Structure 1
Amino acid sequence: MNNQEASRVAGVIAAVGTAALGQSLCNLLEGDVRFDMSCAYLFRFDQPAVLLHDGYKGMVPTKTLSAYVRGGYLLDPFYVACMNQHPAGLWRMSELAPDSFFSSGFAISPDLHPCVSSTHGSLVEELGYIIPLQAHTAVVFSLMKAQNHGPFADAEIRRLQTLAPIVNRAFEAHWRLRPEEPGSAPDAPDSHLESAFVDILQGQLTDAQRYIAKLILQGHSNASIAHLLGISEGTVKVHKHNIYQRLQISSNSDLFRLFIGYISQSGR
């Protein structure tokens, strides 16, 4: 470790427990890794996401970040992975995303998904450190690279993996100081339905139908839903038909618009 790197690590240590932690980690990483935006979110089951580090550099509208924190994060593969106790470490978005995620309403929505809120398709890759803190509570520290800069190189990935212990320990120490007053983590209900999804569809769908609607919104195809639930694709299609009928819609896009409408109303 050279003097410059040692100084950057010292900066990370000094920033633990302060709002400067995210930027100090960026200072450590950007010496060897090129990225265009960064962010860190605290994810807890059935509670709003907390933006711990805003490294969007003014490229993401405030209304998009607000919509994401109010409920858009529920469709984020990193959030879903955290709530399903995914192993800690550095992960590509593409490794976590459902099979139809990148064509889903969330992935291409500039009003809800920060990574495409500047110019559609402007970001080709997102990497995130998953740092579990306690049951159904985790921090995700993400780095994003613009399309014209290409994907993260293998050497950059190796460097980021090497620094993973520093990133993890920094956020674990940050959490113990609890600067955001996070409180205790709630128990996950048996239905696996966050309140936002229940609120949107309450009284119109059965529990099974609401769960399938949730999977559709998160970017799962019929085949993926069938695999997750242990049913046939034909049965999934029947469920989707019934969901559409009950909600008086005709497509996944219409379902996403219902979700967007709920998120918009909750911000008023």
Structure 2
Amino acid sequence: MARVIANARSADFPASIEAALKTLIDFDILMVFAYSGPAKPLCLYHNMTADRAATVISDYSKGPYLLDPFYNAAVNLRETGVNRLRDLAPDQFYSSEYFKRHYVRTRIRDEVGFFLRPRADMGVVVSVTRPIEEPLFSATELRTIRAAEPVIRTLAESYWKDAGDREASGTERHPSDPINSALDQMARNLLTAREIEITSLILRGHSSASIAALLKIVEGTVKIHRKNIYQKLSISSQSELFSLFISQLQKY
């Protein structure tokens, strides 16, 4: 931590954070993303090879990030502290097309993130991961991570408080509501506002029961909406729905 503090205003700060965390827990990847509303995420730091970063960073930033539980938590300005992917993910996240088509390719088994608020309009997530051949983070390791969080947060929020201005100015942005805009275009105005809302939740990995609870409607109504969505889009599976969605995002 002495080295982290000494590098608090230098370009070596992110690497110092990585080294400090390595003394506490074992992890594979460390990456830092800045999220600001609908803007495409900005990677502030990572420790990956170029080949692996192409999947974990570049492919993610092209559109799949919109379905990521970490993204959805980061743009929720109330979310702070340490969060684990498994605790943020919807009930069917691990069987969702996003998980199958993107997350599996990253070879990440477990992920824990420090949620920072350098500014009121921006969330920064410093996350550490374990690969599929390694065990999940244990309860003891999570307690250690949470114990380190106040120091990491204080220093990192100061370091990245101007990240959006210094590094993200002029970066390409999605529409103000990128998921709904993509779904509107994809559906050619065939879906109702409620159907678009449900489609968004399906893509994120929510079951019909979870959607019903979130929207305060009965599960049978959700199932009827799902059937109508598939009919209107001339598809028969979540795989086809995901493909349509990603194809639409690539047009922005």
1:236 aligns with 2:222: yes
Measure the CA separation in 2 of the matches of 1:89 and 1:61.
26
> Residues 205-216 of structure 1 correspond to what in structure 2 (within 5 A)?
205-216=191-202
Structure 2 counterpart of 1:117, which letter?
Answer: R
1:218 aligned to 193, 196, 204, which one?
A: 204
How many angstroms does 1:193 deviate by? 5.2
Please name the residue that 1:10 is paired with. 6
Distance verdict in 2 for CA 1:167–1:69, change over 3 Å: same
Instruction: Identify the range of structure 1 (42-51 vs 156-165) with the bigger mean alpha-carbon deviation.
Output: 156-165
1:52 aligns with 2:44: yes
1:176 aligned to 157, 161, 164, which one?
A: 161
Please name the residue that 2:99 is paired with. 107
Measure the CA separation in 1 of the matches of 2:58 and 2:183.
18
Question: Secondary structure in 1 aligned to 2:136?
Answer: coil
Question: Secondary structure in 2 aligned to 1:220?
Answer: coil
How many angstroms does 1:81 deviate by? 1.4
How many angstroms does 1:146 deviate by? 1.7
Give aligned pairs, total. 247
How many angstroms does 1:176 deviate by? 2.8
> Residues 252-267 of structure 1 correspond to what in structure 2 (within 5 A)?
252-266=238-252
Percent same amino acid among aligned pairs? Answer: 33
Please name the residue that 2:129 is paired with. 144
How many angstroms does 1:29 deviate by? 0.4
Q: TM-score, normalised by structure 1?
A: 0.82
Please name the residue that 2:89 is paired with. 97
Conservation of the 8 A alpha-carbon contact between 1:42 and 1:51: yes
Distance verdict in 2 for CA 1:61–1:171, change over 3 Å: closer
**Unmatched runs of 5 consecutive residues or more in structure 1:** none
**Unmatched runs of 5 consecutive residues or more in structure 2:** none
Measure the CA separation in 2 of the matches of 1:220 and 1:136.
27
Question: Secondary structure in 1 aligned to 2:41?
Answer: strand
Conservation of the 8 A alpha-carbon contact between 1:82 and 1:136: no
Q: Could you say what the CA RMSD is over the residues aligned between the two structures, in angstroms?
A: 2.6
Structure 2 counterpart of 1:60, which letter?
Answer: R
Q: TM-score, normalised by structure 2?
A: 0.87
Question: Secondary structure in 1 aligned to 2:205?
Answer: coil
Measure the CA separation in 1 of the matches of 2:192 and 2:200.
12
Measure the CA separation in 2 of the matches of 1:182 and 1:172.
19
Please name the residue that 2:150 is paired with. 165
